[in-house]
Amino acid sequence: MMSFSVITKEELARLTDVKSCCEFTELAALVRMDGTLQISLQQKYTLNAVTENATVARKIYRLAKSLLPCQAEIVVRRKLQLRKNNSYLVRIYVQNIEALQRLGLLDDQMQILPGIAKNLIKYRCDQKAYLRGAFLAAGSINSPEGTYHLEMITHGEYHAEALCRLLNRFKLGAKVSLRKNKYVVYLKGSDHIVEFLGIVGAHHALLEFENTRVVKDVRNQVNRLVNCETANLNKMVDAALRQVENIRLLQKTVGLQSLPPPLRELALLRLEYPDVSLKELGAMLSSKVGKSGVNHRMRKIEELAEKWREHRAAKL
């Protein structure tokens, strides 16, 4: 069974109704998050992007072939470990250095650009495309049945901070943490994750996330109500047992006939109906009394029982 991350990536990787400028920005994010740049002695440039998702690999290959002057190939790496997926290496043989600059990998001085090139994310649609590519390349999202968590992992601190700022242009509450020498850009709130899925175009995943979240919230609410009802029932049973114990003590010692008539009537009813609520007891009295009135009388009975216990303890 595919994880929720894989389902989301499969949907995003198959998006086709995207403008060419946005596709270029998405490719830039894909190779930036997933790739390495190799320069040969003959000054030939090769971008190597590695992914465990075949659909993502095909998307990198398709975008590179259609948007760059380049040759490209996909190499399947089979893993020998049990239960390990194959990985896919996409090799992009870039024909000129201008393509690397357009992808935001190199600056004008031919140095590695540490953050995100401003020309790539000038427009709102390009910003969304960059986030889509970043998630496809190095993102993951927990199933909404568990804890709400979405993250994207990158190696560079400047790029992580730039990615975090880009997310927060959409007011998503993104943060950055360091984990095993890698920078993790993450979202926690379920509302923020839903917003992100809508921004990057994962509408089917968004609906599934929302449906699961609704079911989960209803289940949690029912559990809270049941727990609350159970706690209240336990309190009522404990109180009733304590009341019966007090009444039986008075019955054995001073006798219930010594009690004032209102207290005596209530005490006899409680002995006869140990399981009913205070409200129900009040309705059974010859002169009906509300729950608070019954509770007041029960406290009087408890005080009398406590005085007798103290008196007996003093004699000992």
Q: Which residues pair with 89 in a beta bridge?
A: 50, 75
φ/ψ (deg, to 5) at 101: -70, -40
Task: Using the predicted structure, report yes or no on whether residue 83 has a pLDDT greater than 60.
Answer: no
Helix/strand/coil for 172:
coil
Q: Which residues pair with 112 in a beta bridge?
A: 106
Q: Which residues pair with 154 in a beta bridge?
A: 183
| Residue 316 pLDDT level (bands cut at 50, 70, 90) | low
pLDDT of residue 203: 92
Q: Which tens digits make up the pLDDT trace of 259-270?
A: 888 888 888 888
Instruction: Extract the tokens encoding 237.
Output: 């049973």
Mean pLDDT, range 259-285, rounded to an integer: 86
Task: Using the predicted structure, report yes or no on whether residue 106 has a pLDDT greater than 70.
Answer: yes
Mean pLDDT, range 40-67, rounded to an integer: 87
pLDDT of residue 68: 86
pLDDT of residue 279: 86
Task: Using the predicted structure, report yes or no on whether residue 62 has a pLDDT greater than 60.
Answer: yes
Task: Using the predicted structure, report yes or no on whether residue 41 has a pLDDT greater than 80.
Answer: no
In the chain, ranges of CATH 3.10.28.10 domains = 4-201
Considering the domain 4-201 in this protein, what is its CATH number? 3.10.28.10
Task: Using the predicted structure, report yes or no on whether residue 142 has a pLDDT greater than 70.
Answer: yes
| Residue 136 pLDDT level (bands cut at 50, 70, 90) | very high
φ/ψ (deg, to 5) at 92: -115, 115
3-class SS shares of the chain: helix, strand, coil, % to 5: 60, 15, 25
Q: Which tens digits make up the pLDDT trace of 148-182?
A: 899 999 988 999 999 999 999 999 999 999 998 89
pLDDT of residue 139: 93
Task: Using the predicted structure, report yes or no on whether residue 289 has a pLDDT greater than 90.
Answer: no
Mean pLDDT for the chain overall? 87
Burial of 40 (0-12, 13-18, 19+ CB in 10 A): exposed
| Residue 73 pLDDT level (bands cut at 50, 70, 90) | very high
pLDDT of residue 81: 62
Burial of 147 (0-12, 13-18, 19+ CB in 10 A): exposed
pLDDT, greater one: 261 or 40: 261
Pair 77, 89: CB distance under 8 Å: yes
